[in-house]
């Protein structure tokens, strides 16, 4: 029931160096080859036991030592060893809503597209209209396959006239890059330079109403000149970074892209500078509850290779009328013409039952299974259970009552307006 990370024992000590030498991306196959070469006595079975027994085998961010120092509770998150919490999800969630929180999101992937043809190529890749972006502007978007399914959701930053920085989900980075390369090889237009620069960047997010005040103490870049969903290349301390006014919490804040090895310097300085204003380190647990209160989608929950952007409320980033053709357009258009049958809605418990991913959703007469919960929790800000449900479209109206099967019992829920959390309520 409760898995505790194994203690690191003698055997792993030597491995620590190997992992360090391999830098950020430990490819398990490479590591296995390495292992077999120098430790031929150890069999595949032992290696596998080892790989699944020791957190040291997970990919590590440059901030792992900091997380350990701060008492972060480390977990395997999509193959990355990251803190799920430090002081507690509730405390961290509240800090972001009322002051500020610091997140290590270095596991996110970064893909750079630059040179002649960059704009047209990116516009062909993603659903949103990149041509409307000014330099230093950012845009939320989706990457689709030919069937209109979502390969990933991402943020596109236009760093220059011909320079685009695509930030994708950690566990999807390799899949995304492979997908982009496939599209690239069959692309007829001018081909820009394409590179997976994930190993070069750490990402630190500072989120919450005190973020600007805190970060401004460490940079000469005038943060009040960076509007929401805009960015600027500038120095934090003396380190070159990209400072973006973006985030995944519903609060004001910044995502800072920094050279991989410089992350600890900036992380430490931010914590020290910000703690008098209430800044605390936050884990993935709070990141999840914060995004959920905003009904922001999370890949693997609301989004998948089989979901169409129109069905999951991403019509607003799907520009079927943009000048450029894009991957998946035909399929998305076909669904639009046919009419979508599914819808993603926010639900609130009318009792105490907490909805969780995978729980079945039934019509109010309990006769028809109409969908499934994609994400759910007890909302730290609102103090009641909330969830996102992927259901038959005919039931989508706000105010509709339905049932969620929580373990063996049916619990009554109601569809409510989202975001669940609005700033005025605080």
Partner 1 sequence: MSYPSQFKYTKEHEWAELLSDTQVRVGITLHAQSSLGDIVYLDLPKVGRELKANETFGVVESIKAVSDLYSPLAGKVVQANTDLTQDPGKINLTPHTEWMIVIEAQDAKAQFNALMGADEYTAYVKNS
- Output the smallest distance, CB 352 to partner 1, in A: 6
Give whichever of 283 and 346 is closer to partner 1, judged by the CB atom.
283
- Output the smallest distance, CB 88 to partner 1, in A: 5
- Output the smallest distance, CB 84 to partner 1, in A: 7
- Output the smallest distance, CB 87 to partner 1, in A: 10
Q: Supply the DSSP symbol for 249.
A: S
Give whichever of 266 and 373 is closer to partner 1, judged by the CB atom.
373
Q: Supply the DSSP symbol for 223.
A: G
Using DSSP's 3-state secondary structure scheme, residue 5 falls into: coil
Chain residues binding partner 1 by CB under 8 A are 1-2, 4, 73, 84-85, 88-90, 285, 288-289, 352-354, 356, 377-378, 380, 385, 407
**Widest CA span in the chain:** 64
Give whichever of 106 and 289 is closer to partner 1, judged by the CB atom.
289
Give whichever of 115 and 300 is closer to partner 1, judged by the CB atom.
300
User: Are 345 and 396 within 8 A, CB to CB?
Assistant: yes
Q: List the Cα angle 249/251/257 in 5-degree steps.
A: 70
- Output the smallest distance, CB 286 to partner 1, in A: 9
99: nearest Cα among 357, 281, 277: 277
Give whichever of 287 and 329 is closer to partner 1, judged by the CB atom.
287
Give whichever of 274 and 353 is closer to partner 1, judged by the CB atom.
353
Residue 253 to residues 181, 217, 287, 346: CA-CA distances in angstroms? 32, 14, 13, 25
Question: What tokens appear for 33 in the block?
Answer: 């080859």
- Output the smallest distance, CB 365 to partner 1, in A: 25
- Output the smallest distance, CB 288 to partner 1, in A: 8
Q: CA 126 to CA 139: how far, in whole Å?
A: 11
Q: What DSSP assignment string belongs to 379-394? A: -TTTSSEEEEEEEEGG
Using DSSP's 3-state secondary structure scheme, residue 189 falls into: coil
Give whichever of 78 and 115 is closer to partner 1, judged by the CB atom.
78
User: Are 292 and 375 within 8 A, CB to CB?
Assistant: yes
- Output the smallest distance, CB 274 to partner 1, in A: 23
User: Are 298 and 250 within 8 A, CB to CB?
Assistant: no
User: Are 151 and 179 within 8 A, CB to CB?
Assistant: yes
Give whichever of 250 and 353 is closer to partner 1, judged by the CB atom.
353
- Output the smallest distance, CB 285 to partner 1, in A: 5
Give whichever of 77 and 184 is closer to partner 1, judged by the CB atom.
77
User: Are 144 and 309 within 8 A, CB to CB?
Assistant: yes
231: nearest Cα among 160, 170, 291, 126: 160
- Output the smallest distance, CB 380 to partner 1, in A: 7
Give whichever of 296 and 326 is closer to partner 1, judged by the CB atom.
296
Q: List the Cα angle 92/97/100 in 5-degree steps.
A: 65
Residue 418: partners with Cβ closer than 8 Å, 6 or more residues away = 294, 295, 345, 346
Residue 202 to residues 122, 151, 167, 170: CA-CA distances in angstroms? 23, 23, 12, 12
């Amino acid at each position: 029931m409760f898995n505790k990370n194994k203690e690191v024992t003698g055997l792993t000590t030597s491995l620590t160096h190997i992992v360090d030498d391999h830098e950020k991306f430990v490819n398990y196959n490479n590591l296995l080859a390495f292992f077999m070469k120098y430790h031929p006595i150890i069999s595949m079975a032992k290696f596998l036991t080892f790989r699944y027994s020791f957190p040291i085998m997970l990919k590590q961010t440059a901030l792992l030592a900091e997380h350990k120092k701060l008492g972060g509770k480390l977990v395997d998150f999509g193959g990355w060893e990251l803190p799920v919490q430090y002081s507690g999800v509730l405390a961290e969630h509240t800090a972001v809503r009322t002051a500020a929180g610091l997140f290590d999101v270095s596991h996110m992937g970064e893909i750079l597209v630059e040179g002649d043809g960059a704009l047209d190529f990116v516009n062909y890749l993603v659903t949103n209209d990149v041509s409307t972006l000014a330099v230093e502007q950012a845009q939320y978007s989706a990457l689709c396959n030919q069937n209109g399914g979502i390969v990933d959701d991402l943020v596109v930053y236009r760093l220059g006239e011909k320079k685009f920085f695509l930030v994708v989900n950690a566990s999807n980075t390799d899949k995304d890059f492979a997908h982009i390369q496939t599209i690239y090889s069959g692309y007829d237009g001018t081909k820009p330079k394409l590179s997976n620069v994930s190993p070069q960047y750490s990402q630190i997010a500072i989120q919450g109403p005190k973020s600007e005040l805190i970060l401004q103490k460490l940079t000469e870049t005038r943060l009040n000149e960076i509007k929401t969903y805009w960015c600027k290349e500038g120095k934090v301390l003396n380190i070159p970074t990209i400072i973006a006014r973006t985030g995944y919490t519903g609060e004001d804040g910044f995502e800072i892209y920094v050279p991989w090895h410089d992350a600890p310097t900036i992380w430490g300085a931010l914590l020290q500078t910000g703690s008098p204003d209430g800044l605390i380190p936050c884990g993935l647990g709070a990141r999840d509850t914060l995004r959920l209160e905003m009904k922001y989608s999370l890949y693997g929950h609301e989004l998948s290779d089989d979901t169409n952007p129109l069905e999951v409320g991403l019509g607003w980033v799907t520009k079927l009328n943009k000048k450029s053709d894009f991957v998946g357009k035909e399929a998305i258009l076909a669904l639009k013409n046919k009419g979508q049958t599914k819808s993603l809605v926010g639900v609130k418990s009318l009792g105490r039952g907490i909805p969780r991913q995978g729980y079945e959703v039934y019509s109010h007469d309990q006769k028809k299974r109409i969908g499934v919960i994609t994400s759910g929790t007890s909302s730290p800000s609102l103090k009641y259970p909330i969830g996102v449900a992927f259901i038959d479209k005919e039931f989508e109206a706000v105010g509709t009552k339905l049932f969620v099967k929580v373990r063996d019992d049916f619990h009554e829920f109601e569809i409510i307006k989202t975001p669940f959390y609005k700033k005025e309520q605080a």
